[in-house]
């Protein structure tokens, strides 16, 4: 049994981790901690009770319960994980960090987008970006995994095969990749959800548009590594009135005329051994209803035949759907843990409420 710990259990990602790990046959939860809402209270999840302790990030990270953990999941806000990771690393713990603190390799770029100095740039070099479909072998050996963000997961999986195979036309003067993403309200965190629901309106709207969203450098970093050259994106995120689920639409131009059938064949080859990527057949498009409460990513395509490009370029639309809290956060974190410890990647995830059935919700009993 892998001894696991979750710090930040009262947030949406932490709660989802608890639900998954509580039913994972290969793990034992030995520590749950939260800075604000836990103070030796009890958390009930999937019919089991767990004690939860209020931790002090400055002085008491390696408490008695946490000392026995082999792997620690950090489900904390950006900036908070930064100081905790070195303490855990010095204690020889394996860490899966769900914040953005160790995703961006360039410390200066992190500082620009997150408005704070990165105190441990040497650890940025050691962190492995936790997207299994691209970095499985590195994840297997990693001590520190930087779990990807939800938007980056949906975007990178959508177009990685095209970039890897050199099929996208790169325009030096404009962004060659245009992305429109829509997220359920849980993507904004618990405080955002409370505020959204208090307004009692079903608003859909764009936010942090005009190149302001902090996931942009993370996406561009990974797409550029895949392509072997600098890739810039034009990205607009939206909030939609549903609890969870994420849908990304990506617009690119291909270097040559290509049919949908050829694209599907290439993607099916690229993802042929991936248990959580579902490449859809022609004329079938992704839906969030099919992936919510699962660790799946659905990918579908549309070749734009509306206008004639005279054989030069093919406009292609790639669409992906994930659950922002599962494949976009906690499910992917558990998938990474499974890889790190040589387990089947599907362990604990093959039955994360497939088909949309609601799992037992974790609750804090004061």
H-state helical runs in 117-249: 121-126, 132-141, 150-164, 190-198, 216-227
State in Å, rounded, how far the first CA of the chain is from the last one.
Answer: 29
Sheet holding 277-279, edge to edge: 205-206, 233-239, 177-183, 246-254, 314-322, 297-303, 277-279
Identify the active-site residue in 38, 45, 52, 150. 150
CA distance 364 to 366: 6
Q: For residue 346, give Cα distances in angstroms to 187, 275, 295, 296, 342.
A: 24, 7, 9, 11, 11
What does DSSP say about strands 297-303 and 233-239: parallel, antiparallel, or unpaired? unpaired
Residue with tokens 């922002």: 324
Task: Provide the strand spans (E) within 27-149.
Answer: 27-34, 41-45, 48-54, 71-74, 94-97, 128-129, 144-146
38 as an active site residue: the answer is: no
Nearest Cα residue to 52 out of 37, 64, 62, 67: 37
Residues labelled catalytic? 150
């Amino acid at each position: 049994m892998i001894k696991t710990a979750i710090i930040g259990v009262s947030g949406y990602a932490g709660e989802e981790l608890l639900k998954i790990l509580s039913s994972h046959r290969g793990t034992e939860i030995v520590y749950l901690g939260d800075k604000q809402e836990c103070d030796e209270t009890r958390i009930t999840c999937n019919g089991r009770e767990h004690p939860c302790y209020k931790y002090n990030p400055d002085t008491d990270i390696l408490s008695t319960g946490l000392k026995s953990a082999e792997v620690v999941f950090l489900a904390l806000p950006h900036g908070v994980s930064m100081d905790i990771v070195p303490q855990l690393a010095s204690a020889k713990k394996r860490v899966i960090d769900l914040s953005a603190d160790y995703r961006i390799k360039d410390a200066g770029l992190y500082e620009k987008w997150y408005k704070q100095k990165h105190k441990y740039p040497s650890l940025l070099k050691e962190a492995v970006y936790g997207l299994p479909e691209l970095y499985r072998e590195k994840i297997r050996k990693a001590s520190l995994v930087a779990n990807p963000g939800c938007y980056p997961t949906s975007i990178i999986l959508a177009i990685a095969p095209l970039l890897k195979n050199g099929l996208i036309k790169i325009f030096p003067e404009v962004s060659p990749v245009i992305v429109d993403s829509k997220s359920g309200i849980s993507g904004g965190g618990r405080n955002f959800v409370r505020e959204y629901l208090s307004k009692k309106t079903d608003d859909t709207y764009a936010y942090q548009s005009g190149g302001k969203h902090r996931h942009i450098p993370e996406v561009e970093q990974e797409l550029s590594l895949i392509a072997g050259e600098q890739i810039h994106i034009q990205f607009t995120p939206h909030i939609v009135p549903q609890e969870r689920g994420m849908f990304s639409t990506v617009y690119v131009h291909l270097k040559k005329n290509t049919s949908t059938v050829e694209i599907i064949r290439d993607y099916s080859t690229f993802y042929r051994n991936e248990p959580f990527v579902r490449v859809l057949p022609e004329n079938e498009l992704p839906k969030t209803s099919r992936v919510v409460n699962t660790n799946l990513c659905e990918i579908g395509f549309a070749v734009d035949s509306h206008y004639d490009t005279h054989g030069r370029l093919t406009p292609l639309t790639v669409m992906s759907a994930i659950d922002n809290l599962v494949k976009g956060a906690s499910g992917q974190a558990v998938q990474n843990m499974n890889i790190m410890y040589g387990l089947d990647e599907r362990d604990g995830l093959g039955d994360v409420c497939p088909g949309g059935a609601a799992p037992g919700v974790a609750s804090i009993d004061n």
